[in-house]
Structure 1
Amino acid sequence: MKAFCRENNVILFAVLENKVKEERAPKIIKKLGDRWRWAANYNADRRGRIWLLWDYSIIDFRVDVVHQQFVFGYCTRIKSNTEFYFGAVYGLHTIADRRALWGDLEPVINNAAAPLVLMGDYNAIRKGDDRFNGNQVTDSETRDFNNFLLDNSLTEMKTVGRQYTWINNHTHSKIDRIIVNAEWVQQWPHIKGVILEPHFSDHCPLSVKMEEHDGKGPKPFRFYNYMAEHKFFITEVEESWNRRSAAKTMYEVWLKLKQMKVVMKNMAKKEFGNIEEKIIAARVALRNYQNTHSDPTRGQNQCHVENN
């Protein structure tokens, strides 16, 4: 773990299914160094399947919920004041146990008024090609998980790297995932997860890289109300929205909105581009007109201050 954190510049991570007894955990975690603070779910499960650790010089983490199948809290990056919710998930092996996971996660998610990311081993699959060389995927395996995502407006983060995250002899499965809410997608649409090499584990580690921004780069798109008054606004919006099939997931809705943003940016550039320069030019023209057509005696022996 120490080498992994150093090589990957880790500042927040979870260790799942560690099989370490509670009395031994502090001694082992201390070997990672003095930069780490940690939380675990021994109070909810005597086996303490979840450790959550963070570099307290970079991350301020507030533990909100400790559960048998997840540890959840609020993160703040101290330097940038970036805020988001983070949850480490370890789903148990039976469908009945995971139903408790979905039910208990739901109010936690609904109370999160900020970007949110849930990472871990869900022990659940979503579709047929999530398993290779094993038992045929049934609807009963996928239904609860997919309904949970749909009901709570969550989506799976796109990932690069390996397709399957767990191997058991000859069976390959994708059961480790990164789940985010709409606020996360809106704030960090460019971020992708990485499925790393498993090394000594039978699971592949999941990684999300969050870069600090220095304020450079393109300005974010902003929608102004005056754009809605443009004569082509409704037509452009309808054409853009209808280019794709009807949205079935929050990810599809996000794709539609992203597509519409391009249309709005082009309209803003074409119809309202350089608006500030146009306003200045109009004010200059107005002033020249007023000076030309006003009383020629006005303006003589006057002192004034302009507030530009």
Structure 2
Amino acid sequence: MWHKDAFTYESHEMGKWFIAVVGQHVKSSYRCVVVNVYSTCSLREKIDLWGNLSALKMASSDPVWCFCGDFNAIRKRGERKGTSVRDNHTSEMGRFNNFIVTNMLIELPIVGKKYTWFSSNGKAMSRLDRVLVSEEWLQEWPMGKQYVQRIEVSDHCAIMVKSLDKDWGPKPFRTIDAWFMERGFLMMVKDRWTSYPAQGNAFTVLKEKLKRFKEDLKVWNMDVLSIIECTKKKILEELEVLDCQACSGVLEDSENL
């Protein structure tokens, strides 16, 4: 990320136990957020950290995310060896996994060592460091893996994130049934499709049009369907208020009777 020919820095946000860097991956032109985590040992402070990270992601419109670093937490019992897993560790595992699921994060496949932290005598070891990414990150780098390096100056292993640059052919183009139920969707598709330039052979034209339409469709989906979901939520909240008012009216009538 320090190389200007690989990553263009835009902004950053610092919090207790993390630094979030926003920028653009030069080669793909993807705007992404990379969050480096260095967690505390306190469970209470870990819970605060996970809450702050969730709030940070929720408040952002950027879909491409990567959380990496020392989370100081395990996801399952097999990620700790040489020390007992106490009751507070069980609670910690549940809360940590809930943070991952709630934010729809995916842990990259690990290559190399099973553990990333080792005690000085080598008898105790844990998987405390990891890389968690959003689905959109995987769409851009589907072959991404986390490679655990050997221990050098720290008692933690460094982790290298790398995606094999292989062309496995075009990515599948998927649709959502709800799009076709939305008024104006088909007209939008026709207008956008005809607006794209058609240069080259038929296969090249189709590939480029699908690529451009995929990006436009993401914007349309966020602009249109997200508004519908907010409207539905507001209507449901208003209905709940009306139901409560109706129930109060019934109770008042029954008391009068």
What's the TM-score bracket when you normalise by the shorter of the two chains? 0.5 to 0.7
For 2:27 and 2:140, locate their aligned partners in 1 and report how far apart those are by CA, in whole Å.
18
- 1:1-35 Cα deviation digits (max 9, x unpaired): xxxxxxxxxxx2xxxxxxxxxxxxxxxxxxxxxxx
1:162-201 matched pairs, under 5 angstroms: 162-168=113-119, 169=121, 170-201=123-154
Question: Counterpart of 1:116?
Answer: 65
Q: Which moved more, 1:203-212 or 1:68-77?
A: 203-212
Q: TM-score, normalised by structure 1?
A: 0.52
Matched, 1:59 2:10: no
Partner of 2:75: 126
Identity of aligned residues (%): 28
- For residue 179 of structure 1, report the CA deviation from its aligned partner: 0.6
Using the alignment, how far apart are the partners of 2:136 and 2:39 within structure 1? 24
Q: Which 4+ residue blocks in structure 1 deviate beyond 4 angstroms?
A: 210-213
Structure 1 residues not aligned, in runs of 5+? 1-11, 13-53, 226-275, 278-308
Q: 2:33 aligns with which of 65, 72, 85?
A: 85
Conserved? CA contact 2:68–2:132, under 8 Å: yes
**Contact 1:130-1:173 at 8 Å conserved across structures:** yes
Given that 2:143 and 2:164 are in contact with CA atoms closer than 8 Å, whether structure 1 keeps it comes out as no
Tell me whether 1:209 sits opposite 2:175 in the alignment. Answer: no
Normalized per residue, the structure richer in helix is 2
CA RMSD of aligned residues (A): 2.7
**How big is the shift at 1:65?**
1.4
User: Are residue 105 (structure 1) and residue 45 (structure 2) matched?
Assistant: no
Matched residue, 2:44: 96
Distance 1:60 1:134 in 2: 43
Aligned residues: 176
Q: 1:187 to 1:161 in 2, by over 3 A?
A: same
Superposed CA deviations along residues 116-171 of structure 1, whole A, max 9, x for unmatched, are 11110001111100100112253123121111111111121111010000011321
Unmatched segments (≥5 aa) in structure 2: 177-201, 204-257
The 1-side partners of 2:29 and 2:138 are apart by 18
* Rg (Cα) greater in structure: 1
| TM-score after normalising by structure 2 | 0.62
- Summarize deviations over 1:192-250 as a string: whole Å, max 9, x none: 1111111222111011124667xx6512222479xxxxxxxxxxxxxxxxxxxxxxxxx
